[in-house]
């Protein structure tokens, strides 16, 4: 693997770690500050959007996106900002953390499928094996953490599972459409438009009650929101799109399997002990990522 590929791999691992931290930030803000998940999603991008606009203002030679691209930009805002978090939060609420942890990572499979159909990426044996092995590793890692959970397969549980899968599909759509737009425009411009439109689409859902929520957020809550806005949204989304300009969508997607691994690893700092099943799952994730990256697209 050459130096550029190593740098992209490192960037994608850092992004996965950052996004793993977002699950902890969301959990603490929702539970401690009683911030409704939809309000949290709105505040996250309400803060992130002006920063993206400022970045565009200070950059030189930013290429404007013409009006005929508006349908694709609207779809970006809906799938990558608004719907993904509404569906994900509703799904997690109706299922449980372990189930959602596996189902969310079906975005890797969706991205692989859509990249073959719309981006004409090649499906190699090594890539298929890598993505499959890595996803099996995710299942093992999450199962190792969830053996003490009680799962009740009710109609609401099934509905929640569907919501989570739809949120994973939203991220796949956001990734594929963004990959196409990045052939003409830079990641700063595309991300800024997605953030602005996605934030706007939140308004009908939050405008009547957001002021009450904001008035009761603690200092720690605002720190979590700033982390979600500036680190997870601005840095994470820009880094994700930058990586897509340098590698295939399916190869970037497999790094998302590190997210549940990192989330559960962070719990070990609170006194939990990794199990053999967890360690085996982690090895499968890492090996699967390695296989995917060494696959030849030709």
Q: Is the pLDDT of residue 244 over 90?
A: yes
Task: Dump pLDDT digits (tens) for 16-37.
Answer: 999 988 888 888 888 889 999 8
Whole-number pLDDT of residue 168: 95
Whether this prediction's pTM lies above 0.95 is answered by: no
Alpha-carbon gap, residue 229 to 209, rounded angstroms: 20
Task: Dump pLDDT digits (tens) for 60-79.
Answer: 877 889 999 999 999 999 99
Q: What is the mean pLDDT of residues 1-14?
A: 91
Whole-number pLDDT of residue 252: 97
Alpha-carbon gap, residue 178 to 194, rounded angstroms: 9
Task: Give the CA diameter of the chain.
Answer: 56
Q: Is the pLDDT of residue 102 over 90?
A: no
Whole-number pLDDT of residue 298: 47
Mapping DSSP onto H, E and C, the string for 151-171 reads CCCCHHHHHHHHHHHHHHHHH
DSSP code, position 213: H
CB 69 within 8 A of CB 63: no
Whole-number pLDDT of residue 154: 77
Task: Dump pLDDT digits (tens) for 178-190.
Answer: 999 999 999 999 9
Q: With H, G, I as helix, E, B as strand and everything else as coil, classify residue 195.
A: helix
Q: Where are the domains of the chain?
A: 3-294
Q: Is 69 exposed, middle or buried (0-12, 13-18, 19+ CB in 10 A)?
A: middle
Whole-number pLDDT of residue 89: 81
CB 260 within 8 A of CB 142: yes
């Amino acid at each position: 693997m050459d130096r550029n590929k190593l740098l992209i791999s490192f960037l994608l691992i850092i992004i996965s770690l950052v996004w793993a931290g977002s699950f902890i930030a969301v959990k603490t803000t929702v539970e401690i500050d009683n911030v409704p998940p939809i309000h949290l999603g709105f505040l996250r991008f309400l803060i992130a959007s002006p920063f993206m606009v400022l970045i565009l203002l200070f950059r030189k030679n930013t290429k404007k996106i013409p009006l005929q691209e508006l349908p694709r930009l609207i779809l970006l805002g809906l799938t990558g900002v608004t719907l993904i978090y509404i569906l994900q939060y509703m799904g997690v609420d109706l299922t449980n953390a372990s189930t959602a942890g596996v189902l969310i990572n079906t975005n890797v499979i969706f991205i692989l499928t859509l990249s073959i159909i719309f981006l004409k990426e090649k499906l190699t044996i090594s890539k298929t094996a890598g993505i499959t092995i890595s996803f099996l590793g995710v299942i093992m890692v999450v199962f190792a953490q969830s053996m003490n959970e009680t799962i009740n397969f009710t109609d609401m549980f099934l509905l929640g599972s569907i919501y989570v899968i739809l949120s994973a599909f939203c991220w796949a759509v956001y990734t594929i459409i963004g990959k196409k737009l990045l052939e003409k425009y830079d990641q700063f411009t595309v991300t800024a438009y997605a953030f602005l439109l996605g934030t706007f689409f939140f308004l009908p859902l939050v405008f009547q009650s957001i002021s009450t929520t904001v008035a009761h957020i603690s200092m720690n809550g605002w720190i979590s929101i700033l982390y979600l806005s500036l680190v997870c949204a601005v840095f994470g989304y820009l880094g994700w799109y930058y990586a897509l300009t340098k590698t295939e969508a399916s190869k970037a997607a497999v790094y998302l399997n590190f997210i549940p691994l990192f989330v559960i690893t962070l719990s070990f700092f609170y006194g939990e002990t990794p199990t053999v099943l967890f360690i085996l799952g982690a090895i499968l994730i890492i090996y699967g990522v390695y296989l995917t990256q060494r696959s030849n697209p030709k």
